Structure 1
Amino acid sequence: MLSALIWGPIFGAILIAIIPNPDHDCYSRKIALGIMVAMAGLSVLLAGQFNISDPQMQFVEYYPWLPSLGLNYHLGVDGLSLPLLLLNSALVVIAIFSTNTEIERPRFYYALLLLLSGGVAGAFLAQDLLLFFLFFELEIIPLYFLIAIWGGQRRGYAAMKFLLYTALSGFLVLVSFLGWFWLTKAPNFDYNPSLADALPVKTQMLLLLPLLLGLGIKIPIFPFHTWLPDAHVEASTPVSVLLAGVLLKLGTYGLLRFGLGLYLEAWVEFAPYLATLAAISALYGASCAIAQKDMKKVVAYSSIAHMGYILLAAAAATRLSVTAASAQMVSHGIISALLFLLVGVVYKKTGSRDVDKLQGLLTPERGLPITGSLMILGVMASAGIPGMVGFIAEFLVFRGSFPIFPTQTLLCLIGSGLTAVYFLLMINRVFFGRLTMELSHLPKVRWQEQIPAIALAVVIIALGIQPHWLTQWSEPQTAVLLTGHPDLVSVPAPPRIEIEVKELGEV
């Protein structure tokens, strides 16, 4: 099942590339959509068969690949990676569905989307460090072409900047993994946290530092963030959905799985600095978002701020905060995808994303009332309004991090409060007021353009009302990350923090 989630999209990309298919027809779109719907169904089936109370890796696949290099084809899924797999499959389906049917070079475009999906799934499933690196690097190639070919006016600059930053990110991750392999004298690159226990703390710190830098670029955190706004602004709407919704999570997932999971003792030494960087990122991202005139840049800088919350929770390294980090990854992925979809609809219908040129779009007769209403819902979710998934994720982040880093948590709370400021400024300027004459005859939004956003809005509300559906996956796995030994995790006798999470879910 796990291999199917990786190789199904990859073989689908090859199929689209080799079958006779004129660029003007829609065969490639239908094939890509059919494959990803099947992958989404397979992900749901996997979740249905997943044993939530078992902290061990499940559905494990292990085959020797290149023994001389220590590389094995080792896959597994647990409560940390399973929600991200579901998110990946769902958002790729939405990206394909929301793509313009008249897009140029459709075969290449849809093949790249499928290749991207397979690479991301492989990174989430890899239980071999070198295998993770290979999939981590694989997703760079399709994303570069997706920005460089179908992006905006400055797409070449944005794509090259993305490529350089992420190539450096991958190099630093590889340096850390190679150091781990050589210094632990491991027989292979299999993920084995117990091997790092024998390393002195200073050695662990030397190995953890390049990993933190490499994944920090991918997240991104301040001051390695500059590639993200350019990439978002120049990327097409479906690519922005995947970039914010899934691809940034490779960085935070890597921090939890390989940073916290392998080097727990060294992590404690770096944790205060990581928490401070998280607070800086949250405040910086929020401050920059307030000053932006482009709607896409507002959402892009908002992503920088919200990814800082995940870093804060990971730095605190409590059972509640790590559970919260997992929940925040999914929450941000859903909310940011919704916001980028709606900004894309506004741009498609009005030809502008400038908040100074748009106003009155919420007008029922001639504006974009449904788009505006969904945008207000997405903004409320991002600002942490109770009853939506953004609230419970951020609440758990701050609740789990405050006992360890009270000052940094309070600064992040200020950043969370600023979320309402910059989004309300954008909503007030763009959707309220009187509709101008230039915007008085907007094209109607078709139902095909509304369905993806409506589906995401339903998920946001459903997980906000019943957050236990989100937190239950990662609760047992949290204990594994903080001990490094699944056999030491007592199930089903949960500690008090897990009971608190379940009580919140029931409320």
Structure 2
Amino acid sequence: MLLSTVLLVPWVSGAVLVALDGRRRVVAWLAVASLVVTLTALGVLAADVFDGGDRQVVTGGWPAGVGIVLRADALGVVFALLSVLVLLAAAAHEAAGGVRSRTFPGLVVLLGAGLTGLFVTADVFSFYVFFELAMTASYALSAYGGKRRQLRAALVFTAVNLLGSFVFLLSVAGAYRVTGALAMDQVAARVLGVNPNAAGLIAAGFFIAFSVKLGLFPFHFWLPTVYAGARPSVAAILSGAVANIGAYGLLRFGADLFPEQLRLAGVALVVLGAASIVYGGVLAVARGDAAETLAYSAIGQVGYVLVALGVGGPVGLVAAVLYSVINSLNKALLFLASGVRGAAVAAAFAVGALSVAGVPPAAGFVGKLELFRTGIVAGSVALVVLLLVGSALSLVYMFQVYQRRFWRPDPQATGATSPLPQRLFTAALALLVLAAGLWPEPLLVLSDRAVDALLAADTE
């Protein structure tokens, strides 16, 4: 019942809210309340999963194979909690500042329904359905603001991600063709007996689709235009919540459904991840605009996830999950803080900047430590050097952004201070990032349990 509730609440409330005028404050705050209820239900579900193991239900009382199978494991609920938390922060941020579009609150809640659905489904095709629901809401949200810059960003985002969706659908069809199944556990079991060339081609298709969502090099070309062109709240949603589809997809479809193909592609993944780290870092240093710097930073930061995934094993997978969570919080905080003015905003931005650079006591320090541990376990000096270079580049460009944003007068600034609730929500997110660095044990335990769920599914 609880598993169905986490989908029913955002689905029903989102459908109602999208029909109302979101520019009215009561509608905007109703959307925030709906996300609070969803996050609470997910928290209860997560506690149930961590205490008693996976939870599974077939919707509508249909037999398995006919109805949609929902399954909550540690990996899925971690990403669902993370994504809804980011959506809640962005929705509250926009509600406090005044919503500018009648559909924005409802679309954010529907996006939460789509993201939650794909994180708790146990069926490849259902994953695609929820995937498209989430992306449809994202396409509409990327045009939020209605200015030329936002419309251009929406056009680019929609065109590129429709291509990624098409590649993903082809891969789903290929997986069904060679395995005769759509249930994830059946696909994982039957793919072992499939022709290795066919399985490799299908796995490559899934990798391309998820890499487009993440903005990995060389699939990054759309990301700077979209992130820099979108409004801060939308950029936070796209980078901190929607991008989780890519990180979760690489973990679920790689380590769970195609573990052998992931192992064979390990070196290639490390090389691509290294290219993302260096490319994103160098271009971020060269940018003069804060939004563009944060956009290129996003390209570099997801490279760390790919490197950890390429190294593989329990240590590499834990580092990939942990850094995905921390990176999502970092990006949401930085994009939201970049659109806020007033007291304490500089401190909140500094926490996010230190976290990206891996400087204690922010949460990013814990993530970088796990990545260094991955490089040491892999016995690769080159990997450790790469992580040091990437961290140094992060420190340089984040200092540049902080200097331009808070040390120098902004010629475009109106001098108006952002509403107090908006500043408080940004500060609360910064405190969460800081708390995760000062007390990292819960985050480490969540990452360990998420990887245990993956490896357990792989050995069944």
Task: Please classify the TM superposition score into its range, dividing by the shorter chain length.
Answer: over 0.9
Q: Report the counterpart of residue 364 of structure 1 in structure 2.
A: none
Q: Are 1:273 and 2:252 counterparts?
A: no
Q: Report the counterpart of residue 495 of structure 1 in structure 2.
A: none
Q: Report the counterpart of residue 216 of structure 2 in structure 1.
A: 221
Q: Are 1:302 and 2:297 counterparts?
A: yes
Amino acid at match of 2:388: L
Cα displacement (A) at 1:72? 3.8
Q: Are 1:472 and 2:435 counterparts?
A: no
Q: Are 1:191 and 2:185 counterparts?
A: yes
Give the whole-Å Cα distance in 1 for the aligned partners of 2:411 and 2:458.
Answer: 65
Give the whole-Å Cα distance in 1 for the aligned partners of 2:22 and 2:268.
Answer: 51
2:83 to 67, 88, 92: 88
Q: Report the counterpart of residue 51 of structure 1 in structure 2.
A: 50
Q: Report the counterpart of residue 127 of structure 1 in structure 2.
A: 122
Q: Report the counterpart of residue 11 of structure 1 in structure 2.
A: 12
Cα displacement (A) at 1:385? 0.9
- The answer as to whether partners of 2:78 and 2:446 remain within 8 angstroms in 1 is yes
- Structure 2: runs of 5+ lacking an equivalent: none
Q: Which moved more, 1:298-307 or 1:82-91?
A: 82-91
Quickly say closer, same or farther: Cα 1:206–1:341, change in 2 above 3 A. same
For residues 55-454 of structure 1, the aligned pairs below 5 Å read 58-63=54-59, 72-99=67-94, 102-106=98-102, 108-186=103-181, 188-192=182-186, 193-346=188-341, 368-404=342-378, 406=380, 407-432=382-407, 442-454=415-427
- The answer as to whether partners of 2:174 and 2:202 remain within 8 angstroms in 1 is yes
Cα displacement (A) at 1:177? 2.0
Amino acid at match of 2:29: K
Quickly say closer, same or farther: Cα 1:287–1:12, change in 2 above 3 A. same
Structure having the higher Rg:
1
- The answer as to whether partners of 1:218 and 1:251 remain within 8 angstroms in 2 is yes
Give the whole-Å Cα distance in 2 for the aligned partners of 1:95 and 1:48.
Answer: 25
Amino acid at match of 2:386: L
Computed over aligned residues only, the root mean square deviation of the Cα atoms, in angstroms, reads: 2.4
Identify, as 1 or 2, the structure richer in helix.
Answer: 2
- The answer as to whether partners of 1:152 and 1:233 remain within 8 angstroms in 2 is no
Amino acid at match of 2:119: F
Cα displacement (A) at 1:124? 0.8
Q: Report the counterpart of residue 501 of structure 1 in structure 2.
A: none
Cα displacement (A) at 1:387? 2.1
- The answer as to whether partners of 1:463 and 1:470 remain within 8 angstroms in 2 is yes
Count, aligned residues: 456
Quickly say closer, same or farther: Cα 1:249–1:438, change in 2 above 3 A. closer
Normalising by structure 2, report the TM-score. Answer: 0.92
Quickly say closer, same or farther: Cα 1:291–1:110, change in 2 above 3 A. same
Give the whole-Å Cα distance in 2 for the aligned partners of 1:386 and 1:262.
Answer: 36
1:310-351 deviation digits (Å, cap 9, x = unpaired): 0111111120110111111110111111111110114xxxxx
Amino acid at match of 1:36: L
Cα displacement (A) at 1:481? 3.0
Quickly say closer, same or farther: Cα 1:249–1:105, change in 2 above 3 A. closer
Cα displacement (A) at 1:457? 1.5
Normalising by structure 1, report the TM-score. Answer: 0.84
Give the whole-Å Cα distance in 2 for the aligned partners of 1:409 and 1:64.
Answer: 51
Give the whole-Å Cα distance in 2 for the aligned partners of 1:152 and 1:343.
Answer: 19
